[in-house]
Structure formats: C-alpha cells, structure tokens
Amino acid sequence: MWTTLLLIAVSLALGFAAWLLFLWAVKSDQYDDVERPKHRMLDDDDAARETTDGGSRGGKERTDENRRV
C-alpha cells in the first residue's frame, strides 16, 4: 500500500515540476516563433544587398561590402 502512495506522490511531483517548467518557458518567450527560424534560410535577401553598378551592365551587382559572412 505504501508503494502505491509513494508512486502517486512521485508522479504528482514530476507532473507539477513539468508544469512549472512549461510556465517558465512560456514566460521567457521560448515559444515566441517556432516556424520562422526553419524558413529563414530560404529567404532571398540578395535583393536587399544588391547595388547598381552605374549602368555599365544595366543590371544590379553585389559588392563585397554588402555580402554577409
């Protein structure tokens, strides 16, 4: 009988600890944006870094200063 009560107490304590951990994660913005980081590598931000080269080729050219490392 005491083993059953011990297992119930341990399971309640673990459940309460998991609940507190979840509340801490929500309050510290751990679940702020879970979709954006995995799609960030697919964004094409070359257009924001391109500059015109004065019309010699009539297009846009990326310079070393605008390239991210």
pLDDT (tens digit per residue) in 21-40: 999 999 998 877 778 878 88
Helices (H), the chain: 2-27, 36-39, 46-49
| Residue 67 near residue 51 (C-beta atoms within 8 A) | no
Give the HSE-up count for residue 63: Cα atoms under 13 Å, Cβ half-sphere: 6
Q: Are residues 64 and 42 in the same domain?
A: yes
- How many whole angstroms separate alpha carbon 51 and alpha carbon 55? 11
Residue-range definition of the domain harbouring residue 57:
33-69
Q: Are residues 43 and 59 in the same domain?
A: yes
Is it the case that residue 12 has pLDDT exceeding 80?
yes
Same domain, 21 and 44: no
Residue 37 sits in the same domain as residue 69: yes
Q: What is the rounded average pLDDT for all residues in the chain?
A: 77
Residues 41 and 21 in one domain: no
Residue for token pair 């309640």:
12
Structural domains counted in the chain:
2
Structural tokens at position 13: 């304590």
